[in-house]
Amino acid sequence: MPKATKAPADYILPLYINGLSGRMLRMSQPKDTKREILFVYGYHASLERYFGVADLLNKYAGVTMPDLPGFGGMDSFYKIGEKPNIDTYADYLAAFIKLRFRNKKFVIAGYSLGVPIITRMLQKYPELSKKIQMLVSIAGFTHKDDFNFSKKRYWIYRLGAAFFSARPTAALYKLLVLRPIYIRYVYRHLFNAKQKFKDKQAQVLARAIEMEVNLWRSNDPRTYMATGNMMFKLELPNKGHVGLPIYHAGVDNDHYFNSVKVEQHMRMIYSDFVHGKVKSASHAPSIIATAKDAAYFVPKEFIRVMNKIS
């Protein structure tokens, strides 16, 4: 009998925290370890999009992955009268850790935007670093200058994100632009989107585009724009030191980030920097559905270090 395919829905639980409603993914520990991993996903994300990463990590530890406010269908910060910025996300993550992990120690890993959120949390709540056994960055960053954009492109993105982060313009954007037919057209024809889906077979391409449609429809557009604007202004190296080493997996062909600057800025924050490479054609695929899909995102040398943690 063929082995049953794991489904995200079998591991997703409701999440209620600080007046916000969302979801979290929870996969129990393997029988031979008490190790725990907290995974913080990136920008434009959902639990379903990164299920394969959780499935891979579950080979080595119990895995917890919460939604971020405004992403994955979770309520946005605007619901409770707050704005999405690096500090409110850091506060949210700290509250989640205190609620779910209490006195337990754990490994923490972040993807892309998840890394600056983790970093700012540790700068604001240094006492939480005592709980962390290992910190892993996958395609992460900590400073606006890490972006590998021309000045013109940078300012177009930054000003565009700022403009559409206002309530009226965000509502207009959702009403007029975020229609499934337009989203599908964009991902089939615009340059950046075609780069993202380069070399995909027709069936895989269709599935990836449908995932993008679902992401755009479930993520809060105002949060998406405000968070984008936040990233283009980020300067964490001058916010404080973190007394932990960071294990950074940099994507070989990352068209978003300059790997040299990423390392420079992380070394300014963390006590040490350990580099591993991820061989990927892009910053992030649309779907990481299985452990096999995710295998190349966590360097084997990082797995060996993690396996030494009891």
The pLDDT tens digits for 95-153 are 999 999 998 999 999 999 999 999 999 999 999 999 999 999 999 999 999 999 999 99
User: In the structure, what pLDDT confidence band is assigned to residue 234 with cuts at 50, 70 and 90?
Assistant: very high
Higher pLDDT, 63 or 288: 63
The pLDDT tens digits for 212-224 are 888 888 899 999 9
Residue 187: predicted pLDDT: 72
Averaged over 17-26, what is the pLDDT? Answer: 97
Q: Tell me if 162 sits within 8 A of 83, measured CB to CB.
A: no
Taking the model in full, what pTM does it have? Answer: 0.91
The pLDDT tens digits for 83-111 are 999 999 999 999 999 999 998 999 999 99
Query: Which of 272, 238, 278 has the alpha carbon at shortest distance from 111?
Result: 278
Distance between CA atoms of residues 216 and 226, nearest Å: 15
10 Å Cβ neighbour count for 202?
A: 7
75 pLDDT more than 90: yes
Residue 1: predicted pLDDT: 41
Q: What is the DSSP string of 275-301?
A: EEEE--SSS--S---SHHHHGGGS-HH
Q: Tell me if 232 sits within 8 A of 149, measured CB to CB.
A: no
Q: Tell me if 102 sits within 8 A of 52, measured CB to CB.
A: no
Per DSSP, the three-state class of 147 is strand
For Cα atoms 306, 308, 310, give the angle at the middle one, nearest 5 degrees.
95
Angle between helices 202-218 and 180-189 (to 10 degrees): 130
Per DSSP, the three-state class of 99 is helix
Beta strands 12-17; 20-27: pairing state: antiparallel
287 pLDDT more than 60: yes
Q: Tell me if 151 sits within 8 A of 232, measured CB to CB.
A: no
Torsion-angle region of residue 97: left (phi > 0), alpha (psi -120 to 50) or beta? alpha
Q: Tell me if 132 sits within 8 A of 107, measured CB to CB.
A: yes
Distance between CA atoms of residues 49 and 218, nearest Å: 12
Residue 115: predicted pLDDT: 98
Q: Residue-wise over 39-69: b if at least 16 C-beta within 10 A, else e?
A: bbbbbbbbbbbbbbbbbbbbebbbbbbbbbb
Output the CATH code of domain 8-150+236-307.
Answer: 3.40.50.1820
Residue 10: predicted pLDDT: 95
What single-letter amino acid sits at 176?
Answer: L
User: In the structure, what pLDDT confidence band is assigned to residue 25 with cuts at 50, 70 and 90?
Assistant: very high
Distance between CA atoms of residues 59 and 44, nearest Å: 26
The pLDDT tens digits for 238-266 are 999 999 999 999 877 777 899 999 999 99
What are the angstrom distances between the C-alpha of 150 and each of 39, 50, 222, 227?
A: 31, 29, 25, 20
Placement of tokens 């950046």 in the chain: 192
Per DSSP, the three-state class of 48 is coil
Q: Partners of 37 in the beta sheet? A: 63, 107
